[in-house]
């Protein structure tokens, strides 16, 4: 069977025995300084989720018994694989000491052989010594028969939609994340990617996040490690980019400071925008920024923030992105002496990679599916229904209790419902469904000459 199994187009193959894992540092910087015969494969390991395809590739070529770990460990994926080798996994297959989870289709005995026979040499910060170190490892014997794990656990049959945009609400990033995962696992189209891996993709998810609530899914350590890459203007040597560098020191410009100053001078500005896309570099880059633009607006003396992601890994990256963007919003609001308004995240290509399909479905099943939608007030207002004088009346009110100009009258629930929905007065699906239910009750009462009371069971 052809090797490597995963991410073939992203790996630099050599003719040696040892592998090199460069974490966030551009792999070209490392392998170009080495003789091709000195290494078997050279690749990045950006996230903890990448540990699973790494293991599967090694199990399929078990003569790889040495992995040189090097480069900038921005997401602590290097720490995670070291914890895996030292501590193993718990009963739920979670890496002890790190957040990663080992795929269910990696047999435990094969994982244990990997842990006992593969030697990881931590050379982070010692990249100049790799050439002399890797020369020690040549022609190593296989530690087991090759094991090709190419199939993932079966996942649900996808639904199909032509809908280009899904709008979801969440009081917290966690709540919005589960809804986004549910949408992608249900409706995602199976497609190839430029990383030689399949994905499920939904074109367009707009998430509206209303409040600041601490995550139950992210560890504080993981979040703090990620925040450093977003709030630091310093980019580690050899790293393609960081959001912090692009936001706080883009070609010498501190975009965040400039936006704050612009809003202070002109709160109604429509030019409070920061970009991370460098047209001179990113169009040809193999690893361009996923977050491309952030915009800010002031409404009711609150700072609203909209973030646009051209490509968004919903399972592996969305939660960290969302909490980091919320922290950025809060920081800027404090500088402006304002409160924070809603955070809006537009994910253009909202996707889940194949190696995460099973875990994404499990996350949705265990934390979202089968629950009842909690009642939340519609920001666009509410409706009061009455039955009198032989007809149904539906009066719309603003959230603060003021009567709006929208009054609907009639005898047919379906006609009234379509009139109301045509006026774009709903912001939430559950409120539209509620009005449909109440209109049906009101029509029944009207036909049967019974007294109608809204919300009466």
Q: Are residues 235 and 346 in the same domain?
A: yes
Q: Are residues 324 and 184 in the same domain?
A: yes
* C-alpha to C-alpha distance for 277 and 367, rounded to whole angstroms: 35
Residue 200, helix vs strand vs coil: strand
User: Is 244 within a domain?
Assistant: yes
* pLDDT value of residue 381: 96
* C-alpha to C-alpha distance for 179 and 202, rounded to whole angstroms: 13
User: Is 219 within a domain?
Assistant: yes
Q: Are residues 210 and 335 in the same domain?
A: yes
User: Is 176 within a domain?
Assistant: yes
Domain boundary among 84, 114, 134: 134
User: Is 149 within a domain?
Assistant: no
Residue 80, helix vs strand vs coil: helix
CA dihedral 347, 353, 354, 360 (to 10 degrees): -70
Token pair 């537009």: residue: 346
Q: Are residues 275 and 222 in the same domain?
A: yes
Q: Are residues 222 and 264 in the same domain?
A: yes
Q: Are residues 284 and 410 in the same domain?
A: no
Q: Are residues 349 and 410 in the same domain?
A: no
| Active site (annotated) includes residue 70 | no
User: Is 365 within a domain?
Assistant: no
Residue tagged active-site, from 21, 42, 70, 290: 290
Q: Are residues 118 and 172 in the same domain?
A: no
User: Is 367 within a domain?
Assistant: no
Quote the number of domains for the chain: 3
* pLDDT value of residue 100: 86
User: Is 364 within a domain?
Assistant: no
User: Is 363 within a domain?
Assistant: no
Q: Are residues 218 and 287 in the same domain?
A: yes
CATH number, domain of 285, equals 3.30.572.10
Q: Are residues 243 and 295 in the same domain?
A: yes
If we measure between CA atoms, which residue out of 92, 138, 143, 76 comes closest to residue 115? 143
Residue 58, helix vs strand vs coil: helix
pLDDT in tens, the chain (457 residues): 789 988 888 899 998 889 999 999 999 999 888 877 789 999 999 988 899 999 999 999 999 999 999 999 998 999 999 999 999 999 989 999 998 889 888 999 999 999 999 999 999 999 999 999 998 888 889 999 999 997 655 566 678 888 889 999 999 999 999 999 999 999 999 999 887 788 999 999 999 999 888 899 988 888 998 999 999 999 999 998 999 999 999 999 999 999 999 999 999 999 999 999 999 999 988 889 999 999 999 999 999 999 999 999 999 999 999 999 999 999 999 999 999 999 999 999 999 998 888 889 999 999 999 988 888 889 999 999 999 999 999 999 999 999 999 999 999 999 999 999 999 999 988 999 999 999 999 999 999 999 999 998 6
Q: Are residues 296 and 386 in the same domain?
A: no
How many C-beta neighbours within 10 Å does residue 60 have?
Answer: 19
* pLDDT value of residue 374: 83
Q: Are residues 262 and 392 in the same domain?
A: no
* C-alpha to C-alpha distance for 278 and 292, rounded to whole angstroms: 9
Range of the domain at 37: 8-134
* C-alpha to C-alpha distance for 195 and 53, rounded to whole angstroms: 12
């Amino acid at each position: 069977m052809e090797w490597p199994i995963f991410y073939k187009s992203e790996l630099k193959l050599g003719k040696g025995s040892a592998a090199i894992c460069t974490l966030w540092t551009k792999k070209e910087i490392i392998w170009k300084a080495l003789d091709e015969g000195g290494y078997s494969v050279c690749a990045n390991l950006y996230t903890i989720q990448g540990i699973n395809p790494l293991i599967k590739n090694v199990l399929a070529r078990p003569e790889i018994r040495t992995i040189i770990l090097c480069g900038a460990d921005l997401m602590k994926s290097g720490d995670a694989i070291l914890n895996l080798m030292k501590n193993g996994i718990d009963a739920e297959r979670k890496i002890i000491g790190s957040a990663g989870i080992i795929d269910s289709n990696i047999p435990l005995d094969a994982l244990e052989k990997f842990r006992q026979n593969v030697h990881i040499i931590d050379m982070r910060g010692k990249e100049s010594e790799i050439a002399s170190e890797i020369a020690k490892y040549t022609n190593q014997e296989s530690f087991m028969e090759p094991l090709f794990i190419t199939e993932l656990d079966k996942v649900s049959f996808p639904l199909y939609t032509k809908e280009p945009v899904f709008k979801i609400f969440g009081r917290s990033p966690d709540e919005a994340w589960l809804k986004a995962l549910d949408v992608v696992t249900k409706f995602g189209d199976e497609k190839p990617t430029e990383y030689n891996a399949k994905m499920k993709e939904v074109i367009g998810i707009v998430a509206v996040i209303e409040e600041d609530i601490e995550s139950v899914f992210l560890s504080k350590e993981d979040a703090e490690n990620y925040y450093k890459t977003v709030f630091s203007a310093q980019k580690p040597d050899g790293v393609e980019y960081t959001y912090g560098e692009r936001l706080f020191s883009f070609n010498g410009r501190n975009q965040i400071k400039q936006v704050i100053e612009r809003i202070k001078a002109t709160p109604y500005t429509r030019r409070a925008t920061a970009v991370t896309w460098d047209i001179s570099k990113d169009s040809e880059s193999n690893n361009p920024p996923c977050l491309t633009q952030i915009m800010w607006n002031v409404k009711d003396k609150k700072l609203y923030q909209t973030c646009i992601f051209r490509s968004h890994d919903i399972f592996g990256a969305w939660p960290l992105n969302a909490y980091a963007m919320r922290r950025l919003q809060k920081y800027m609001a404090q500088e402006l002496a304002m409160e924070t308004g809603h955070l809006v995240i537009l994910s253009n290509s909202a996707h889940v990679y194949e190696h995460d399909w099973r875990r994404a479905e499990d996350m949705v099943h265990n934390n979202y599916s089968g629950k009842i939608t909690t009642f939340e007030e519609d920001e666009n207002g509410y409706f009061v229904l009455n039955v009198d004088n032989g007809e149904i009346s539906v009066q719309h009110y603003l959230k603060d209790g003021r009567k709006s100009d929208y009054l609907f009258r009639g005898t047919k629930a379906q006609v009234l419902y379509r009139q109301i929905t045509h006026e774009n007065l709903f912001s939430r699906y559950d409120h539209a469904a509620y009005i449909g239910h109440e209109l049906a009750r009101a029509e029944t009462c009207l036909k049967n000459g019974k007294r109608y009371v809204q919300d009466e069971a």
